[in-house]
Amino acid sequence: MAVRFLRDQEIFDVGDCLQGLNLLGHAQMIELFIGSKCGGHGECGGDRIRIKHDDQRKVNAPTEIEKKFLSRHEIERGMRIACQCFPNEDGLAMDVFLSSEL
C-alpha cells in the first residue's frame, strides 16, 4: 500500500508506507517539498498537511509540538504537522492533502 500526496489536481505517489518514517520523510523520499523550513525538527510548523477523517486513525495522535502550531479546530479537521505525524504500521494506504487542498 502507499502514501499519496495530493496538491490541487496533482498526485504524488510515494509507494511503500513505512511506520518508522514521518510523513515529511515520505515526501522527502520523492523530493516533494511540502513547506518544512527547519528540516523536520518541529520548530517551524511549515509542513502542514491534512489527513482525511477516515485515515486519521492510521497515524499517531497529535503531539504537543503540533498543538503549539495548530488550533483544536484545525486538528479536528485533520490538520497535522508532517514531521510529527507517523503511520501506525507499515503498508498502510493513505492520502495526504497539501496546499490549496487543506
Structure confidence by residue, pLDDT tens digits, 25-80:
999 999 999 999 998 999 999 999 999 989 999 999 999 999 999 999 999 999 99
User: pLDDT tens across 10-21, in order?
Assistant: 999 998 999 999
- pTM value is 0.92
Q: How far apart are CA 70 and CA 45, in angstroms?
A: 8
Q: Is 64 left (phi over 0), alpha (psi -120 to 50) or beta?
A: alpha
Domain parsing of the chain, residue ranges: 2-101
CATH 3.10.20.30 fits 2-101, yes or no: yes
Rg (CA), the chain: 12
